[in-house]
């Protein structure tokens, strides 16, 4: 009788794991540029955001991505942006426009660069890589981006973002 109960419990547990794996959200993709793969993937993910977007990027000059950030804000998504203090006034920079649209922006005050390039969507997806949010990055540069929903990786990025958000200065 004990063996039968043990077998039933084992079978039940195996079914639970199969169901969890089947319905669990998994995302692990790599993208490369030049080309539109990276920008289209970021744009698609921003459109799917439900609650929050925490972005930490060196610069933003690509108007398409800047417009997607404003769209997120207008849909009620909590958007926060960390960027480099020296890049906010570059020709074509969208940072001040994003700030004026209502997106909270924080910057470093350092002679060194805030050179991160990552974003966190709904605290469950991270995208990161060499990709700068510029027209040149998608049109000409050799760039890369990784998207993942790996819980441990996302958790580390969320924690680091919060550290940076506290350290940086409000624009």
Phi, psi dihedral angles at 133 (to 5 degrees): -85, 60
The CA-based dihedral angle spanning residues 43, 56, 160, 131, taken in that order and rounded to the nearest 10 degrees: 70
- Contact, 130 vs 117, CB < 8 A? yes
Residue 117 appears among annotated catalytic residues: yes
- Of 62, 165, 160, nearest to 105 by C-alpha is 165
Residue 51 appears among annotated catalytic residues: no
Q: How far is Cα 70 from Cα 78, in angstroms, rounded to an integer? A: 11
Residue 37 appears among annotated catalytic residues: no
* Torsion sign, CA atoms 170, 108, 111, 128: negative
- Contact, 155 vs 50, CB < 8 A? no
Catalytic-labelled residue, pool 115, 139, 140, 155: 115
Catalytic-labelled residue, pool 87, 106, 116, 117: 117
- Pairing type for strands 52-57 and 117-121 reads antiparallel
For the annotated catalytic residues, the residue numbers are 115, 117, 122
């Amino acid at each position: 009788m004990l063996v039968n109960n043990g077998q039933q419990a084992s079978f039940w547990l195996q079914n639970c794991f199969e169901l969890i794996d089947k319905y669990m959200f998994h995302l692990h993709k790599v993208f490369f540029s030049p080309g539109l793969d990276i920008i289209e993937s970021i744009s698609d993910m921003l459109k799917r955001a439900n609650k929050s977007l925490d972005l930490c990027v060196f610069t933003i000059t690509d108007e398409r991505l800047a417009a997607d950030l404003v769209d997120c804000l207008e849909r009620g998504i909590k958007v926060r942006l960390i960027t480099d203090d020296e890049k906010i006034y570059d020709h074509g920079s969208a940072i001040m426009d994003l700030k004026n649209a209502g997106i909270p922006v924080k910057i470093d005050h350092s002679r060194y660069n805030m050179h991160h390039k990552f974003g966190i969507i709904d605290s469950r997806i991270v995208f990161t890589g060499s990709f700068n949010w510029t027209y040149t990055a998608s049109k000409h540069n050799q760039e890369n981006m990784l998207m993942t929903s790996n819980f441990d990786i996302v958790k580390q990025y969320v924690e680091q973002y919060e550290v940076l958000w506290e350290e940086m200065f409000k624009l």
